[in-house]
Each structure stands twice: as structure tokens, then as C-alpha cells.
Structure 1
Amino acid sequence: MKIKYYSMLGLAFLSLATLNACKEDKIKPLSENANAPGTVSNISVVNGPGKAQLSYALPKDQDLLYVKAVYTLTNGKEYEVKSSYYNSSLTVEGFGDTNEHIIKVYAVNRSEVASAPVEVKIKPLENPIWGVFRSLRAIADFGGIKIAASNLNKAELAIEILVQKEGKYVPSAKNIYTAAADIDQSIRGLDTVSQKFAVTIRDRWLNYTDTLYTTLKPLYETALSKSAYRAVILPTDVAQEYTSTNLTYMWDGNIIDWPRISLTKTTITTPQWVTFDIGAAAALSRIVIWDYPEYLNAGRTYYYGGNIFQFEIWGSNNPPSDGSFNNWTLLGTYQAKKPSGSAYGIQTSEDYTAANAGFSYSFRVDVPKMRYIRIKNNKNWQGTTFMSVAEVQVYGDPR
């Protein structure tokens, strides 16, 4: 099986071939020249993690169209990478080992006639999936397991999670797809009984790591019914920016529409906080927060404006009427993370999917049952302190 890759410039030139279709709707080359072009020369190699960059000198042929590299991975699949004649380099990738590989490099003219191949040897560095695997940790979490690892190369990868059933490991249908540098995601919805798990990592070329085997018992939790949530307005709590927004909109089930959000005062630049009652004391495990996606660049953008960035979650059973933090217990200090790490105002599809699903923040486990929650925002993504929160869901054990 041959799989082809093209540079953007190469695609632009190759698409011109469709303009020369003959009456029988057969595509003709851009020109008719049966003479093979000269070969590329002076090829140099820079080996990288799971890949290698080839730099070369182009032949002098006037009708040169592109350069292509053809190679075969360990799995037997043949790959082809093309680069326009405007470029003098290309990258071959997808290698799962550090063995020596032979790459065949061709120059191709506008008649799609290829030159004789020039063979070059590469020796890629270790594929990034192995570094991720060595840092991989799987630990019991509320309602599931947590997967944590370091992905310093920000490689696009999949973490596959299998569960043992009837003596066989079967896919859990809860794989993690990410290119984040710091992987910290939880798989929820698992039964709270001891289970055997198998975790492996692969890249998009189907290179796999070894498998991490572990036995874990997910901790019990349930979503605490939002029908019992109530707004609590204490003297030091921050007010809403508009009469159309409301603290109670944080549990109305609407995660995206304006003005069904809680939007606090934008003119206050010191830390802000809001308080609410979950209806009954419970052993709290985590909170899921849905930020409000602002209208930006003809789309909806998270990690922006008043979306909370550096914040604290506090719990209490008897909040003082003066609004102070007496009788409050710090459940956790957090900093929101954008999976792609891209600049402010820019988000990838992975960024959007993560935010739209809600961010889950786990609480300390060494605290008693709590009934009241306080969200204290120290800094938003804009750099001030107001909060634009679309929805919250608190989890725990109310038994």
C-alpha cells in the first residue's frame, strides 16, 4: 500500500493538472516531455525523532515540477512525500525505530516523468511515543482512572485504554487523542470495582509502544443534582456585570448561549469570588467548569476574556455571614491549560473540543463533607479577574 503526502505548494501545482483534461475526461500531464529530468544532488540529512529532514540541490531542468521521496516503514507500508520545486527540502516521517532506512529521492517533471532514484540513508532518533510511555502513569480517580504523561515533542498520539473482561483485554472505547505537552486526562464512567487495565500509546503511523498493565479500583462518585443548587450572595461576593446574566445560570444546563452565563464585574481588578449551595453536604471529588466561548474571528473562542485561568475552589459547611474566608477550606488551586499551547486568541480543534466538554478539576481527598462552594478567580485569560462561566457540575459522594 502506498500512501502519499504533499507539501502545500506541491498540491497547488499538482492541482493544475486537472485543467488539461481531454475530451475523454482523461487527465494529461502539464506538458509532454518523455525525457527524464536530472537527479537531485548534495543531499544532506538531519535526523529527528521518528523522522528525518532531507535537504538537496535541484536539477537545472526547466520543466521540473516536484521532488518526491519514497520509503517503506517497518509495517510494510510504502509512503511517498512530495515537495514543490520552490522548496529544497522535505521531511520523511513515521518511523517507529532507530534503525537505518533507505530513502529513494526522485525529481519529477511536468510530464510526470521521474528521474533515476538517488538513495540516501537515514537513521531517525527515537520516536516520541517512547518518551511519553516512560513517563506514563495510570492512577485510580473518582469514577474512573487518570492518565498522566509528559509529551515534550507535542507529538500527535493516541493513548489506548483496554479493560480486562472474561480474561481478555478489550478496548474501552475511551481512548485519549492529544498533542498536549502535559497529558493529564481522566477516563470516567467506570464501575467502582477493582479492574485490570492495559494502556498503550501509538502514533498516526500505527507505531505502538509496549503496554502498561495495572489493577485499579475507581473511586465512587456521582453527579450531584443541580436541581438542589442555590445562589448564595455574601457581602464580599462580586456582583454580576449585567442584569441579564445571573449566578443561577451556572447550573441551568446551557453551556454556550448568551446571556445564559454568570458574568461578574469587569471593572474590578482584584481577585473575585462567587458562592453557591449544592443543597446537602457531600464528600466532594471534583467540579467540571464550562467556560463561556466568546464570539471572536467569526467563531466561538475559549481561553479568552473572562474565562478563568488561575483560580481556587473553596468548600464550607458553615460560611460566615460577613463573607470572609473563615470556616472555608481550600479544596484546590488550579491553572487552566490550553492543550495546544497556542497564543492568546488562537485555538485548535483539540482546544475547542476540550473546552466544550468542560474542564474537570479534582479536589483534595483529605477534607470532610462540604455543602457550600466558592470559586475565587485570581486571573482570567485576559489578565484581569472578572469571570465568565457558562456552567458548573459538582461531583462527589452524598451517601
Structure 2
Amino acid sequence: MQQRIHLLFLIVAFTILGCERDALKDPLDAGDGAPARVTNVKVENVPGGAVISYDVPDDSRLLYVKAVYDIREGVTQEIKSSYYNKTLKVEGFPDTKEYAVKLYSVSRGEQVSEPVETVIHPLEPPIKNTFRSLKMEETFGGVRLTFDNPVSANLVMTVIAEDSVGQMKEALTYYTKSIGGSFAVRGFDPVKRRFGVYIRDRWNNRSDTLFGEYTPWLEKLLDRTKIKALNLITDQNAQHCCGVGLSDLWDGVFNGGNVFHTKPGTGLPQWFSFDLGVKAKISRFKFYHRRSTGQGASDGAYNGGDPKVFELWGSDQPVNDGTWDSWFKIGDFTSLKPSGLPLGTVTEEDFNYAVVNGEEFDFPPDAPPVRYLRWKTNRVWGALDHIYMAELTFWGDY
């Protein structure tokens, strides 16, 4: 009998506790009632969406206003805005047609008012605007794409290419938020094939596909064994440590211990010059950043003397006095840190991009063939007055 009473007590206790927990799951003000609706709704149409303004009700129960809308059939979006604000932005619409948006006032207890419906007519969405600007042309080893993205939308461009059996396969996925730019997809033989490109946004809206037939230009990896230092008078190429000198930049060891490391105190900007061994129209190059010597060390990629802003110059017959009179500027280049994190923090993505795979840069398509190159470092990632680099490789036609 005593055991039954004890069991009954436990059942009652757990039931009460369960009810209390269920009660805690509900909003504290669940019974506060729906607040009044918003009024004086106005619409400003923008690319791919609209900015909706309104007057909030003088209702102490109001916590936020939400908009509910369909960007396409079966895909509903919801956006919330605090009662402190009097606007919200609806986005993700794939067309310029008429769309209905419902606005709700919501209480602290999640009680929802009757909707206020308004109609928007989005301006041309970024995927369509950018798609219309797309241009595709032949380049070394593949095709080059150029685009405009005036509103800096987050876009994904997917390049597809015909394989050996005529099937279209994904060749490259390119992410951008830039207002415009260009990129290339490479690795193809100089044989005519069909290429295509389409654009997606973060709401998975997709553009049409731009197709074309192109014959990639022949591209070869330049023979590193033919590259030699020039040792001109004003060059800063005396080795400080960690290798034998400038030749470490083309020794074929991308992630080893040897690096080209100039002496502290040599100052910025500084430069060095070298002979490619052949006259070539260069298509691109890779810069392999230095691997850090230890955990927490400040001598690796995106730190210390790792080049960040630099120039490349070319010459056919450089003079020995080290001046710039016999050189012409090929281009300005800036190293990119994928994570965007501050100095001292290097993610795995950063490390793979800079050290393992090498950071790749394109030569300007109109750059003339050249045999001699001069690298000029203007800024480093850290605060040092010298530089270090692991490897350089070049591609082109000669």
C-alpha cells in the first residue's frame, strides 16, 4: 500500500512538472491579444525587391512587424522588423511583375494581427541585369567571363563546358559581390568546344544560360629550370635566412622550408628582377606564400613580410644600372585573404588558398610578350620592412 502511495505521488509530481515545462515553452504574454495593424503603407521598388515603409500603431503590445510573401510558386519568405523601425526590405524576387506582400503586427505573445496587403513591382533583379552584361571570350586554356553587378549583389556564376562525349559538365563556380569584374576558367586543350554560364542568387533564383563555342588558346607552364636572377644594382635580393636566395622562388618546392627572404632594414618598396629564359606571352602566375615556421609564429602567410600589394614590370633588354627606364609596367596586383579576418588569424581556407594551392593572378590580356620581369613589393601584410616568398610559377605561350 505504501509503495502504491509513493508511486502515485511520483506520477502526480511528474505530471505537474511536465505541465510547468509546457507552460514555459509558451510565450509569457501569450494571452495579450493581437496588436493593431500598421497604417500608411508606402512602397519604394528596388532591384529584386522593395523597401516598404509604414506607421506603427500606438499599441503597447506590439513587438515587431513582419512581411510574408512568395518570391515564386511554393517559396515563401518572411522578414521581421522591430517596432522601433518603420521600414522593412523584401528581397529575392526573380522578376519585375506584380507581387503581393502581407504585413502583420505581432505582439510579445506572438499574437498576429489581421494582414495589411500591399503590392510591389520590383525593378529588374540583379541576376537578370548581370546576365545581360555577361561576355565570354577565348583566353589561354579556356574562356574568360566579364560582368557588371551594379548593386553589388551576392551572386554565384557557374560555368559549364562540353566534355569528350558532348555532355555539358560544371567546370567552375565563381562567387562574387563585386560591382563588376572578370574571371577565367582554364585547363582545356586548344580544341573548339561549347561553353555556357548561368547565374544564381542566394534565393536560388536562376538566370538563363549563355552559350557559345570557343577554341581555348594554347597555354603551357613555363620551364622553371630556365629562370635565372638578374642581380641588377638596385635590386634587393640578398638573402637573410631560410634558403639560398632568389632561386628558391623557382626551385619547384612550394611548401618546403626554403624561401626567398630579404634582409631586415632593406625597406619598402623594394624589387628584384629575373630572366624567364624565353620570351612569352604570359597568361597567369601563382604566388605561393610562406608557410609559418610554428604555431602562433608571425612569419607566415598574411603576416610579417608576406607581400600584399605589388607590381610586375617587363622588359626585353633591361639595362644594368638598375633604373626603370628600360622597363614597362604590366600591372598592379593585390593579395586576397579569403576569410577577411584581421592580422594574426589565418583560417584553413586562407592557408590552403595561399600556401597549399598558391594564389593565382591573371596577366592583363593585352600585355605584350616579355622575357624579363621585375617584381616590386609596395606593402606587406604585416609591419615589416622586408619580404619573404616561397615560390613563383608562370603560364603562357612561347
Pairwise same-fold verdict (TM > 0.5): yes
Amino acid of the structure 1 residue aligned with 2:184:
S
Q: CA deviation at 1:69?
A: 0.6
Structure 2 distance, partners of 1:209, 1:264, is: 53
CA deviation profile, 1:266-314 (whole Å, cap 9, x unmatched) = 6645x53211344555553332335679999x9x985998735362331
Name the stretch that deviates more: 146-155 or 76-85: 76-85
- Per mean C-alpha deviation after superposition, the further-off stretch among 256-265 and 141-150 is 256-265
Structure 2 counterparts to residues 307-346 of structure 1, below 5 A: 307-309=307-309, 311-316=311-316, 319-324=318-323, 330=328, 332-336=330-334
Q: Does the C-alpha gap of structure 1 residues 228 and 242 become closer, same or farther in structure 2, counting only changes over 3 Å?
A: same
| Distance in 1 of aligned mates of 2:367 and 2:32 | 77
TM-score by length of 2: 0.75
- Superposed CA offset, 1:193-234 (max 9, x none): 111112222212222333322211111112234455444322
Q: Higher mean Cα deviation, 274-283 or 101-110?
A: 274-283
Partner of 1:250: 249
| CA spacing shift, 1:60–1:339, aligned 2, 3 Å | farther
Q: Corresponding residue for 2:15?
A: none
Does 1:396 find its partner at 2:367? Answer: no
Distance 1:174 1:129 in 2: 18
Look up the SS of the partner of 1:79 in the other structure: strand
Q: Which residue of 2 aligns with 1:43?
A: 41
SS in 1 for 2:207: strand
Alignment of 1:258-337 (within 5 A): 260=259, 262-263=261-262, 268=267, 272-279=270-277, 282-290=280-288, 307-309=307-309, 311-316=311-316, 319-324=318-323, 330=328, 332-336=330-334
Q: CA deviation at 1:90?
A: 1.6
Q: How does 1:1-399 map to 2 (within 5 A)?
A: 23=21, 27-33=25-31, 35-165=33-163, 170-226=168-224, 229-239=227-237, 242-244=240-242, 246-251=245-250, 260=259, 262-263=261-262, 268=267, 272-279=270-277, 282-290=280-288, 307-309=307-309, 311-316=311-316, 319-324=318-323, 330=328, 332-336=330-334, 356=354, 358-362=359-363, 367=368, 370=371, 372-377=372-377, 389-397=389-397
Cα root mean square deviation, aligned: 4.4
Identity %: 32
Conservation of the 8 A alpha-carbon contact between 1:169 and 1:198:
no
CA distance in 1, matches of 2:46, 2:341: 25
Cα distance in 1 for partners of 2:112, 2:61 equals 12
Q: Give secondary structure in 1 for the equivalent of 2:274.
A: strand
**CA displacement 1:77-131 (0-9 Å, x = unmatched):** 1111122333332211001111121100111122222111111111111112222
**What is the deviation of 1:186?**
1.1
Amino acid in structure 2 at the alignment position of 1:101 = Y
Letter of the 1:360 partner, please give it. F
Gaps of 5+ in 2: 1-17
Paired residue type of 1:115: S
Q: 1:21 to 1:367 in 2, by over 3 A?
A: farther
Q: Identify which range, 58-67 or 24-33, moves more after superposition.
A: 24-33
SS of structure 1 residue aligned to 2:208: strand
**What secondary structure sits across from 1:192 in the alignment?**
coil
SS in 2 for 1:54: strand
Unpaired segments ≥5 residues, structure 1? 1-19
Match of 2:7 in 1: none
- How big is the shift at 1:71? 0.2
Amino acid at match of 2:284: R
Shift of 1:238: 2.1
Contact 2:312 2:373 survives alignment (8 Å): no
Matched residue count: 372
What does residue 17 of structure 1 align with?
none
8 Å CA contact 1:282, 1:397 repeated in 2:
yes
**Gap change, CA 1:345 and 1:243, over 3 Å in 2:** closer
Q: Which range is displaced more, 52-61 or 97-106?
A: 52-61
Alignment-mate amino acid for residue 375 of structure 2: I
* Structure 2 contact 64–80 (Cα < 8 Å) conserved: yes
The amino acid that maps onto 1:54 is: I
Instruction: Give the equivalent residue in structure 2 for 1:14.
Output: none
| Bigger Rg over Cα | 2
Distance 1:301 1:46 in 2: 46
